[in-house]
């Protein structure tokens, strides 16, 4: 760890030198901004590496590494969960979508927000009582270990890798804009720092980085929203009217219909957001970092409150950006005729709406602050994702399946740390070719894929006695496959990426098809399973149900 701290001055010099080389010398203000952002970036990296060193000294067991020792309070964990959720797609992507489409952009948030009550009222207590380190422990409680752990690890790792790509793309474009670095170098820096946090500090370091980052992000976005409203004398109606007047659409951006052209796409999109919250393994894994189910519920309540507040701020910032940035041509690539497109010519692309607005309303210093906080947002989220993916390999596959529960703790942690490095390399490798992918679209698709593969299996295994191993495995895999196939044949992939004439599927989000497929497959392949193993699994439901809702095993309940 000391070696990494000693490398920081060299890292800062490399970033500064590369940035200075790549800067457009014609605009001095941009150079000043870059150095302000670089300074805050280095300050953040130094601070978080100090946290990582502190956490590394306290990470001795696999419980410390996977779940921070289970010693967080409900408020601390809720703050960390909200930090996990307020990712690059939430801050950069959603602000960008509101900027581009108005009211329809805000509808991106509704499905995700409605998903949180599902986690709070349905899953938080049973998951906390039945699980140990990962959510796969919950499904494997009464079902056969091998097939379940292989299937769930596969779907979870798929979701983690896809979501990693979203975050790495956001990180690369942000650093490319702010520091003038080459995109590939930005990817390498983010991936390397992510590996350092997870490899040495585990969940303890990641959690504290998430808590600090969530606090700073909420503070920064609150200030940005207030400064945007101040531009209009704190009259929201004036801000919304100004945005509607200057937006190129000129068709009432505060109305619907700009993204969702038909009710089926709107419904599928909403379902995808709802199931996605309960399908992301890195979010549910945080339920194991608290001491009991009560604190777990409190965690989700705190997270829901903070995320709701954050989404309101996203709407204000996105709408304010439309009219405020329109008054600042210096943030656009202005043509020779002096004209520019509000939607197409923003420097850095539309995903950089929020960071461009921060400079317009708060100057270079505030721009540097938002830059550093946004980078912290991305870095903290990818760290949480990597822990989730690494734990699936080391705990679910190696310790619980291959070693049959008799793995040496040191070897298990070594495998987890090795997997961390591998995920870091995968994240860097995939982040580079996906450079120009829209992060707001990607995150919703990833949520739908994760929700289709994971949430139906969680719900049916916890609440339905009839669920069997065969039903859970087939249902989970069909949910994943159908989600991937529908996504492939949709317009954003089949037409926009693969350049076919028209999509084979009219839905831009797979959830309306893939989620029912998963539930129906679990039901059908369970009720038709007449094997002796299926009978034992149904008989074990009462013991699971008791522990899920009380936290007590049968023997403990009899003793009471």
DSSP string of 148-159?
Answer: HHHHHHHHHHHH
Tell me which residue has tokens 């400064």: 227
Contact 15, 346 (CB under 8 A): no
Indicate the burial class of 208 (C-beta count within 10 angstroms; 0-12, 13-18, 19 or more).
buried
Inform me whether the pLDDT recorded for 316 exceeds 80.
Answer: yes
The DSSP-derived string for 109-128 is HHHHHHHHHHIIIIIHHHHH
Averaged pLDDT for residues 275-292: 79
Average pLDDT over residues 36-52: 72
Kindly state the DSSP code that residue 285 receives in the 8-state scheme: G
The DSSP letter of residue 246 is: H
CA distances from 423 to 79, 101, 208, 428, 545 (A): 25, 35, 21, 9, 35
> What pLDDT shows up at residue 145?
81
Task: With both helix axes pointing from N to C terminus, report the angle between 94-101 and 293-326 in degrees, rounded to the nearest 10.
Answer: 40
Query: Which range has the worst mean pLDDT, 22-26, 315-319, 415-419?
Result: 22-26
Cα(136)–Cα(388) distance, integer angstroms = 11
CB 282 within 8 A of CB 270: no
User: 375 burial class (0-12, 13-18, 19+ CB within 10 angstroms)?
Assistant: buried
Mean per-residue pLDDT over the chain, rounded? 79
Better pLDDT: 223 or 151: 223
State the pLDDT at residue 22. Answer: 37
Q: Are 140 and 149 in contact (CB under 8 A)?
A: yes
Residue reference for tokens 């949480």: 384
User: pLDDT tens digits for 439-454?
Assistant: 666 777 788 888 898 8
β-partners of residue 72 are: 290
Given pLDDT bands bounded at 50, 70 and 90, which one contains residue 21? very low
Residue 230 binned pLDDT confidence (cut-offs 50, 70, 90): very high
418 neighbors 163 (Cβ within 8 angstroms): no
User: Among residues of the chain, what percentage have pLDDT more than 70?
Assistant: 80
Structural domains of the chain ordered from first start: 2-440 (1.20.1730.10)
**pLDDT bucket at 475, cuts 50 / 70 / 90:** very high
Query: What is the per-residue burial (b if ≥16 Cβ within 10 Å, else e) of 285-311?
Result: bbbbbbeebebbbbbbbbbbebbeebb
Reported pTM: 0.80
Number of Cα atoms under 13 Å in the Cβ half of residue 459? 21
pLDDT at 249 over 70: no
Task: Tell me the C-alpha distance between 313 and 155, whole Å.
Answer: 33
440 near 108, Cβ under 8 Å? Answer: yes
Give yes or no for a contact between 328 and 344, defined as CB atoms under 8 angstroms apart. no
| Digit-coded pLDDT (tens) for 366-412 | 888 887 787 777 777 777 777 777 777 877 777 777 777 676 777 77
* pLDDT value at residue 443: 75
| Eight-state DSSP code of residue 69 | G
Looking at residue 368, its pLDDT comes to 80
Least confident of 22-36, 196-210, 375-389, 396-410: 22-36
Range 529-554 average pLDDT: 89
- Helices (H) and strands (E) counted in the chain, each on its own, are 24, 0
Mean pLDDT (whole number) for 135-164: 83
What pLDDT shows up at residue 56?
65
pLDDT band for position 527 (cuts 50, 70, 90): very high
Structure tokens at 217: 């992000």
The residue with greater pLDDT, 299 or 492, is 299
| Burial track 53-76 (b if 16+ CB lie within 10 A, e otherwise) | bebbeebeebbbbbbbbbebebbb
**pLDDT band at 88, cuts 50/70/90?**
low
**pLDDT at residue 235, as a whole number:** 92
Calpha distance 529→117 (Å, rounded): 32
- The pLDDT assigned to 461 comes to 93
pLDDT band at 544 (very low <50, low <70, confident <90, very high): very high
CA distance 224 to 227: 5
What pLDDT is stored for residue 128 in this prediction?
A: 81
Q: Is the dihedral of CA 306, 309, 310, 311 positive or negative?
A: positive
Query: Quick check: 310 pLDDT over 70?
Result: yes
Residues 6+ apart with CB under 8 A from 171: 88, 186, 187, 190, 375, 378, 379, 382, 431
Where residue 2 falls among pLDDT bands split at 50, 70, 90? very low
Worst-scoring range by mean pLDDT, 223-227, 233-237, 350-354?
350-354
* HSE toward the beta carbon, residue 299, CA cutoff 13 A: 32
Give 336-343 contacts, CB < 8 A, sequence gap 24+: 341/248, 342/246, 342/247, 342/248, 343/99, 343/100, 343/248
- Residue 231 has which token pair? 């531009």
| SS3 label, residue 72 | strand
Q: Which two tokens stand for residue 140?
A: 């494997």
**pLDDT digit string, tens, across residues 348-366:** 777 778 888 998 998 878 8
Q: Does the pLDDT at position 20 exceed 70?
A: no
Indicate if the pLDDT at residue 59 is higher than 70.
Answer: no
Residues in the chain: 560
Neighbouring-strand partners of residue 290: 72
Handedness of CA 364, 365, 369, 375 (dihedral sign): positive
The residue behind tokens 């989620």 is: 515
Other beta carbons less than 10 A from residue 230's beta carbon: 11
pLDDT surpassing 60 at residue 268: yes
8 Å CB contact between 65 and 413: yes
- Asked whether the beta carbons of 370 and 263 are under 8 A apart, the reply is no
**Residues 390, 397 contacting (CB under 8 angstroms):** no
Q: 306 with 79: CB under 8 angstroms?
A: yes
Residue 226's pLDDT band, with cuts at 50, 70 and 90, is very high
Tell me the longest C-alpha to C-alpha distance in the chain: 83
């Amino acid at each position: 760890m000391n070696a990494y701290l000693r490398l920081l001055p060299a890292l800062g010099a490399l970033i500064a030198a590369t940035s200075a080389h790549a800067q457009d010398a014609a605009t001095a203000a941009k150079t000043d901004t870059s150095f302000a952002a670089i300074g805050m970036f280095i300050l953040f990296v130094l601070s978080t590496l100090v946290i990582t060193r502190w956490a590394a000294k306290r990470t001795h067991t696999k419980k410390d590494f996977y779940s921070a020792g289970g010693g967080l309070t409900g408020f601390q964990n809720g703050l960390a969960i909200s930090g996990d959720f307020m990712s690059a797609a939430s801050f950069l992507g959603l602000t960008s979508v509101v900027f581009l489409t108005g009211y329809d952009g805000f509808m991106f948030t509704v499905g995700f927000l409605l998903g949180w009550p599902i986690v709070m009222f349905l899953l938080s207590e049973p998951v906390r009582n039945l699980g140990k380190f990962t959510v796969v422990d919950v499904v494997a409680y009464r079902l056969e270990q091998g097939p379940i752990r292989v299937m769930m690890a596969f779907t979870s790792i798929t979701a983690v890798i896809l979501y990693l790509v979203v975050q790495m793309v956001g990180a690369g474009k942000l650093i490319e804009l702010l520091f003038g670095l080459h995109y590939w170098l930005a990817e390498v820096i983010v991936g390397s720092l992510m590996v350092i946090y997870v490899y040495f500090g585990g969940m303890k370091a990641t959690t504290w980085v998430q808590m600090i980052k969530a606090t700073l992000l909420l503070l920064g976005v609150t200030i940005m929203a207030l400064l945007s409203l101040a531009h209009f004398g704190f009259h929201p109606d004036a801000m919304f009217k100004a945005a509607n007047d200057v937006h190129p659409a000129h068709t009432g951006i505060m109305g619907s219909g700009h993204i969702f052209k038909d009710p089926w796409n709107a419904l599928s999109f909403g379902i995808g957001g709802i199931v996605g919250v309960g399908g992301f393994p890195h979010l549910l894994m945080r339920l194991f970092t608290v001491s009991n189910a009560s604190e777990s519920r409190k965690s989700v309540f705190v997270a829901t409150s903070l995320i709701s507040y954050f989404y309101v701020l996203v709407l204000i910032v996105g709408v304010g950006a439309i009219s405020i940035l329109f008054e600042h041509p210096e943030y656009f690539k202005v043509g020779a005729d002096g004209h520019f497109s509000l939607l197409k010519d923003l420097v850095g692309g539309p995903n950089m709406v929020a960071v461009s607005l921060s400079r317009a309303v708060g100057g270079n210093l505030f721009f540097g602050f938002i830059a550093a906080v946004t980078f912290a947002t991305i870095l903290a989220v990818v760290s949480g994702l990597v822990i989730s993916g690494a734990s699936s390999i080391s705990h679910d596959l190696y310790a619980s399946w291959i070693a049959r529960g008799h793995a040496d703790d040191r070897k298990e942690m070594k495998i987890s740390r090795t997997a961390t490095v591998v995920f870091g390399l995968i994240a860097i490798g995939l982040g580079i070719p996906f450079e120009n992918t829209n992060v707001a679209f990607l995150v919703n698709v990833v949520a739908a894929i994760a929700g289709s593969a994971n949430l139906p299996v969680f719900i049916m295994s916890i609440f339905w006695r009839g669920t069997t191993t065969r039903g859970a495995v087939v249902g989970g895999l069909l949910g994943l496959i159908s989600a991937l196939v529908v996504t492939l044949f949709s317009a954003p992939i089949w037409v926009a990426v693969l350049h076919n004439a028209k999509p084979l599927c009219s839905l831009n989000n797979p959830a309306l098809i893939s989620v029912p497929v998963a539930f129906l497959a679990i039901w059908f392949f369970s009720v038709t399973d007449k094997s002796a193993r299926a009978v034992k699994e149904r008989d074990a439901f009462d013991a699971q149900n008791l522990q899920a809702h009380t936290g007590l095993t049968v023997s403990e309940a009899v003793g009471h």
